[in-house]
Structure 1
Amino acid sequence: MMGLMASEETRTVDTRQATTPTRRGTAAEASPPETTPRASGPRAWATRLVVLGIVLSAMNLRPAITSLGALLEEVRDGLGMSGSVAGLLTSVPPLCFAVFGVTAPRLARRFGAPAVVCAGMAAITAGLVIRPYLGGTAGFLAASALALMGIAVSNVLMPVIVKRWFPDRVGSMTGLYSMALALGTSLAAAVTVPLTDALGGDWRSGLAVWAIIAAAAVLPWLPLLRDRGTAPGAEPERPVTAVAAPPQAPLRMARSRTAWALAVFFGLQATAAYITMGWMPQIFRDAGVPAGTAGVLLAVTMVMGVPLAFVIPRVATRLPQQGPIVLVLGMCGLAGYTGLYLAPAGGAWAWALLLGVSNCAFPLALTMVGMRARSGLGVAQLSAFAQSTGYLISIPGPLLVGVLYQRSGGWGLPLALMAALMIPQMAVGFLAGRDRTVEDEAMAR
């Protein structure tokens, strides 16, 4: 679900290097090896702080979203929020990721990645603390945007920190980062309602309590604030991209059909993910499922990404075409939405599992980014194009679901929309999975 972001750029390149090459070869084969050395002898305490900072920060990249999904009905009632405005609220995360994520590399060059991540965690803390208590919908949206801004820049830069501090353990550290992210996502979905009940039933306290973990994530970065990595004489410690490539003219991604197919695929899978995070608990609650159980069901959906995020990229890189995987994930999504329409409460656990599998189109999209370009520079450009375009595509989906829900008074039309969007997602994903490279298509035109 769980950017246009450098984080995904790094992960896709690393996946491509670490797995079996396709017939067109890997980015590592088409580019010179990485030339930037590892930071010279980082002290053990600093390394431990970085590991702790990565884990705690990753845990804070989704609770602002999934905790709200678990209490969306209470928030709407408390703020007098219409279904359309609630839909707008669920569209804010991809908008913030698209707008603020692109500023992270520039901020990191000026202030250093650890300082920007530290500021990001502080922004998440402030946003989570103040948003329930500002007393109106506009203030709630503004404070949510503040927290999401912190998430956006941190999401971009933490994999860069992984690459810099652990260049020989990128895979294992990225796995640790991904597991922490999934843990935070599912934990917020599962325990927000019980926590709210334990705190007296006030939804404001139930949302604000997640600021505690965000505040804890600020602390490990404080001793590293002076570590900019761009100061004179600090060349070995500079944050680096995963693959160093010789200078070459930028590719015109808009000329590549594969790039467009991958961008639309990324956008449609992101649409499904944010609709799920924002609305799935409400679907279950309207069907008579208790609020606490609805949160746990969302947690089940989110936690499916932990094991499958490791399995799917490995399988994908061993196939000349990834279209069959796209179709399997899409069929799981169609089955899940159909089940939510026919028997939302009776088969709730099955639908949560199926949608969890379907949402694993996200790691598949990242893997295909790394496989659809030959050079490291091509991968970076394709990643930026596919993800920036994709997040923009995903913005209207959750808002439209809210409008349809309010106008129709039920979930029939919204679920029909979700299922209908799965059809073009499978179609463009199948096209994006063909064994082609954007370099060939751009040059052919």
Structure 2
Amino acid sequence: MSTADSPADARTAPRPAARTEPAAGPRTEPPAGPGHRPERRARFLTVLFAVAVAVAALNLRPVVTSLGPLLERVREDLGMSATLAGLLTALPSLCFAAFGFAAPVLARRIGPIAVVTAGMGAITLGLVARSFAGGTAVFLLLTAVSLAGVAVANVLIPVVIKRYFPGQVGPMIGLYSMALSAGTALAAAVTVPLTSAMGGGWRLGLGIWAVAGAIALVLWLATLLTHREKAGGHSRSAERLPITRSRTAWALAGFFGLQATGAYVTMGWMPKIFQDAGISEGTSGVLLAVTMVVGVPVSFVLPNWAARRGDQRIFVVVLAACGIAGYSGLALAPAGAPWLWAALMGLSNCAFPLVLTMIGLRARSAGGVAQLSAFAQGIGYLISIPGPILIGSLYQATGEWYLPMGLLALLLVPQMALGLRAALPRTIEDEVGRAAAPAAR
């Protein structure tokens, strides 16, 4: 591109070619054209891509958080036990692990944008279909269809950001995390009131979120058509990284898994905790929304702060402290200061955008991020699977929330220890460089 700055090129081109594409935007090659058309097209594609990322993020949690406030109705209608409901709250982690491992393989074959587009289609289809489920097994299966779409998007959107926005990883992860938190909060806050207002029962309350999925699908189809990406875009050296030899990768996986345990217990059981304390169904949904709303601004600014620092240890400690205080409050006096507990849990759950940022920072290339993202999220979600099931079983056995919340507070100690290790300023390529060098040759 530097040849466009030569005097000879200046006589034939109105502006240098390097200025036809914003530095922060996707690496697309706009077609030649008169005037400023290439520049306008590049800007349009950048905005389209950013909007597609944000709208996709809005759809990655309503599958789960729209269910929390309506879980009792679903249980009664479908005949679920508390243990099966615990399995339902663990299903996201199971699907995210299983399908997350497959995401990089699919991305190498058809491209990450195509896989994310297919994920948006799976989310939409699953949300529509499960609202017609007549039994527990079918409901679980169709929920898994939606969660499969969420799983591949979870892994590959950070990869897409690293590849197409290499100079803006922090801001774009911030946009992604903020939109994800907003979608989580919106589904938790309005599902019960919307269900009551429309008079359609829990089926309509859950199925209505397919509309947002359809919008995301259209945007990603447009992005796919305009970018025409090539499959197999990752470097071979990145594909063959012996990532299991990286201590940072294992620390990120453990940190991810423990924060996911707390997050999905919160999304699945927090409304029930408040309802058992005498708080109404509608208010409990709003309290869950508060937990998510707190994360919206924090999820936007935290990745930017974290990306500017050499290490992120201070954030790991602060978020863990908020979680310990929040779980203690939920165990001892859930109705005493419910808004405070909800806010503290919202801050604690911001470990999610923090770990996404660290994943983007701990690898040098998009291919490295793809492998690290799949590894950390796949192993992490496997780690988190027993948590929600165990919490449901402990509650069913004791009828109280002291032991379940105490266990979650205790788990924040190893979460903090692993987070401190993962937050150190190093990359997986540095850690496994000697082992990867022969393969790269």
Fold equivalence (TM over 0.5):
yes
| Offset of residue 377 of structure 1 | 6.1
CA deviation string 1:75-98 (max 9, x = no partner): 111111111111111111121112
Distance in 2 (CA, whole Å) between partners of 1:161 and 1:428 is 26
Note closer, same or farther for the CA distance 1:410–1:308 as it changes in structure 2 (3 Å cut): same
Query: Where in structure 2 are the equivalents of 1:25-64 lying within 5 Å?
Result: 37-41=27-31, 43=41, 50-64=49-63
Distance in 2 (CA, whole Å) between partners of 1:248 and 1:384 is 13
| Offset of residue 185 of structure 1 | 1.0
Note closer, same or farther for the CA distance 1:341–1:96 as it changes in structure 2 (3 Å cut): same
Task: Return the letter of the residue paired with 2:193.
Answer: P
Contact 1:263 1:389 survives alignment (8 Å): yes
Distance in 1 (CA, whole Å) between partners of 2:248 and 2:224 is 41
Note closer, same or farther for the CA distance 1:302–1:377 as it changes in structure 2 (3 Å cut): same
* Higher Rg of the two aligned structures: 2
Match of 1:254 in 2: 244
Note closer, same or farther for the CA distance 1:373–1:103 as it changes in structure 2 (3 Å cut): closer
User: Which residue among 394, 403, 407 is the counterpart of 2:397?
Assistant: 407
Distance in 2 (CA, whole Å) between partners of 1:442 and 1:46 is 36
| Offset of residue 169 of structure 1 | 5.8
TM-score by length of 2: 0.80
**Ranges in structure 2 where 5+ consecutive residues have no aligned partner:** 1-22, 32-37, 436-441
Note closer, same or farther for the CA distance 1:128–1:367 as it changes in structure 2 (3 Å cut): closer
Match of 1:17 in 2: none
Note closer, same or farther for the CA distance 1:387–1:111 as it changes in structure 2 (3 Å cut): closer
Match of 2:130 in 1: 131
Query: Where in structure 2 are the equivalents of 1:73-92 lying within 5 Å?
Result: 73-92=72-91
Match of 1:423 in 2: 413
CA deviation string 1:298-335 (max 9, x = no partner): 11111222222243344445555533332221111110
Query: Where in structure 2 are the equivalents of 1:112-191 lying within 5 Å?
Result: 113-159=112-158, 172-191=171-190
CA deviation string 1:396-438 (max 9, x = no partner): 1111111111111221221121112112112222233345555
Match of 1:102 in 2: 101
2:381 aligned with 1:391, yes or no? yes
| Offset of residue 219 of structure 1 | 2.8
The answer to which of 421-430 and 212-221 deviates more is 212-221
Match of 2:219 in 1: 220
Note closer, same or farther for the CA distance 1:353–1:219 as it changes in structure 2 (3 Å cut): same
| Offset of residue 68 of structure 1 | 0.4
Note closer, same or farther for the CA distance 1:50–1:316 as it changes in structure 2 (3 Å cut): closer
Other structure's SS at 2:67 match: helix
Note closer, same or farther for the CA distance 1:70–1:389 as it changes in structure 2 (3 Å cut): same
CA deviation string 1:183-240 (max 9, x = no partner): 2111000000101111226112211111222223333344566557356xxxxxx796
The answer to which of 350-359 and 196-205 deviates more is 196-205
Note closer, same or farther for the CA distance 1:288–1:64 as it changes in structure 2 (3 Å cut): same
2:268 aligned with 1:269, yes or no? no
Other structure's SS at 2:29 match: coil
Count of matched residue pairs: 403
Note closer, same or farther for the CA distance 1:141–1:331 as it changes in structure 2 (3 Å cut): same
Match of 1:340 in 2: 330
Higher helix share: 2
2:289 aligned with 1:290, yes or no? no
Distance in 2 (CA, whole Å) between partners of 1:60 and 1:431 is 31
Distance in 1 (CA, whole Å) between partners of 2:154 and 2:137 is 25
Note closer, same or farther for the CA distance 1:165–1:246 as it changes in structure 2 (3 Å cut): closer
Match of 1:14 in 2: none
Other structure's SS at 1:103 match: helix
CA deviation string 1:116-152 (max 9, x = no partner): 4443223222211221322111011001001111222
TM-score by length of 1: 0.79
Task: Return the letter of the residue paired with 1:148.
Answer: L
Distance in 1 (CA, whole Å) between partners of 2:93 and 2:300 is 24
Distance in 2 (CA, whole Å) between partners of 1:422 and 1:192 is 30
Distance in 2 (CA, whole Å) between partners of 1:40 and 1:365 is 34
**Ranges in structure 1 where 5+ consecutive residues have no aligned partner:** 1-32, 232-237
Contact 2:177 2:353 survives alignment (8 Å): no
Identity of aligned residues (%): 59
Distance in 2 (CA, whole Å) between partners of 1:135 and 1:418 is 34
Distance in 1 (CA, whole Å) between partners of 2:163 and 2:425 is 31
Contact 2:239 2:371 survives alignment (8 Å): no
Distance in 2 (CA, whole Å) between partners of 1:163 and 1:383 is 11
Distance in 2 (CA, whole Å) between partners of 1:38 and 1:72 is 45
Contact 1:47 1:165 survives alignment (8 Å): no
Contact 2:170 2:304 survives alignment (8 Å): no
